[in-house]
């Protein structure tokens, strides 16, 4: 009892230091987050400010432990944390791998909230990048939660990484068409479509000799957002079709040539002869 009473001032001081440490961590997090948000992405500022707050709280906890138990040195506490981290790493390998991948994504920032990306089979707008997972909203309005390990180890297609993106529209014209006039009609039509960039200008390039047509690769640039891309594509198809019709250039249907076998010809001839003979009867 005497030893406990003697230790009460130490325990009270340690408790006060513990509370002050975690309160200081919370205050530090709230002060640092607005400063980081001015320079970096919201996900980066949220995660880094939280890590800084945790670091301040853990430092206060270590100081409180050394005050409450004078025989325990900070080096011993850090060594104990090291052993605990190894055990936790073996027990929660998947969770920690997601945490590490999340930190790498947040610090490297290959994409930020609001970017439109494609990861594997999932494609949509990034809503949030947390320490453990990345949340995207698909173009169909569905939220998809992807573990950060999968995101970090996969090839990521960032559609909004640049200010514009190119779209290719393949058009087929007949072999008897004026190819130069067809290409000119396509580019002139795209120049009138709202949303098609003037620089780089639209272009139409002849590509292949298909079965029933010669293919023209019509290319143009638009803003990178998916909605803009789809709407401009719709208008581009309408404009190109109308321009080719006005120029008298047909977009041919696929042509197939049927070569009948000898047995089929014989059967058709027999059937025709049978009909003629039946018609000639009284």
119 and 180 inside one domain: no
170 and 277 inside one domain: yes
CATH of the domain at 117: 2.30.30.60
Task: Tell me the per-residue pLDDT of 238-282, one tens digit each, with 9 for 90 and over.
Answer: 999 999 999 998 888 776 666 667 777 777 777 777 777 665 555
153 and 168 inside one domain: no
Residue 100 located in a structural domain: no
Residue 51 located in a structural domain: yes
Residue 7 located in a structural domain: yes
Lowest pLDDT segment from 37-51, 56-70, 109-123, 139-153: 37-51
DSSP lists the bridge partners of residue 220 as 167
In the block, residue with structure tokens 């073996």: 90
Give the residue with greater pLDDT, 180 vs 48.
180
**Per-residue confidence (pLDDT) for residue 91, from 0 to 100:** 47
Task: Tell me the per-residue pLDDT of 142-151, one tens digit each, with 9 for 90 and over.
Answer: 999 999 888 8
**Per-residue confidence (pLDDT) for residue 219, from 0 to 100:** 95
Lowest pLDDT segment from 52-66, 207-221, 232-246: 52-66
Residue 203 located in a structural domain: yes
For the chain, the first-to-last Cα distance in angstroms comes to 134
Q: Which of 136, 158, 180 is the last residue of a domain?
A: 158
210: tokens are: 């298909």
Mean pLDDT highest for which of 41-55, 112-126, 249-263?
112-126
Residues 187 and 239 sit within 8 Å (Cβ to Cβ): no
Backbone angles phi, psi at 129, to 5 degrees: -120, 105
Residue 21 located in a structural domain: yes
Average pLDDT of the segment spanning 66-92: 60
**Per-residue confidence (pLDDT) for residue 84, from 0 to 100:** 55
Helices 42-68 and 2-39 sit at what angle, rounded to 10 degrees? 160
CATH of the domain at 65: 1.10.287
Cα separation, 40 vs 109, in Å, equals 9
Tell me the pLDDT of the chain averaged across its residues: 81
Q: Which long-range contacts (CB under 8 A, 24 or more apart) does 43-47 make?
A: 43/106, 43/112, 43/113, 43/128, 43/129, 43/130, 44/106, 44/107, 44/109, 44/112, 47/102, 47/103, 47/106, 47/129, 47/130, 47/131
Residues 29 and 53 sit within 8 Å (Cβ to Cβ): yes
Average pLDDT of the segment spanning 54-82: 70
Residue 242 located in a structural domain: yes
Task: Tell me the per-residue pLDDT of 145-193, one tens digit each, with 9 for 90 and over.
Answer: 999 888 888 889 999 999 999 999 999 998 888 999 999 999 999 999 9
* Number of domains into which the chain is organized: 3
Q: Give me the domain span that covers residue 264.
A: 162-282
Residue 101 located in a structural domain: no
């Amino acid at each position: 009892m005497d030893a406990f009473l003697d230790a009460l001032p130490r325990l009270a001081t340690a408790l006060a230091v513990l509370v002050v440490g975690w309160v200081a961590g919370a205050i530090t997090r709230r002060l640092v987050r607005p400063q980081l948000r001015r320079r970096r992405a919201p996900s980066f500022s949220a995660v880094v400010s939280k890590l800084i707050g945790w670091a301040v709280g853990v430092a206060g906890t270590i100081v409180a432990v050394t005050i409450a138990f004078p025989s325990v040195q900070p080096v011993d506490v850090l060594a104990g944390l090291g052993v605990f981290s190894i055990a936790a790493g073996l027990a929660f390998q998947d969770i920690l791998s997601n945490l590490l991948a999340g930190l790498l994504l947040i610090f490297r920032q290959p994409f930020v909230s609001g970017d439109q990306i494609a990861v594997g089979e999932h494609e949509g707008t990034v809503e949030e990048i947390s320490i453990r997972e990345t949340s995207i909203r698909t173009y169909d309005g569905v939220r998809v939660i992807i573990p950060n390990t999968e995101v970090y180890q996969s090839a990521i297609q960032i559609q909004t990484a640049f200010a514009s993106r190119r779209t290719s529209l393949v058009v087929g014209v007949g072999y008897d068409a004026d190819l130069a006039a067809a290409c000119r009609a396509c580019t002139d039509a795209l120049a009138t479509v709202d949303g098609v960039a003037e620089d780089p200008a639209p272009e139409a390039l002849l590509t292949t000799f298909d079965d029933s047509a010669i293919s023209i690769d019509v290319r143009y640039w638009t803003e990178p957002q998916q909605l803009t891309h789809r709407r401009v594509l719709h208008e581009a198809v309408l404009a190109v079709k109308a321009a080719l019709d006005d120029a008298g250039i047909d977009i041919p249907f696929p042509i197939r040539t049927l070569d009948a076998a000898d047995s089929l010809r014989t059967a058709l001839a027999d059937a025709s002869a049978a009909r003629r003979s039946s018609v000639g009867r009284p």
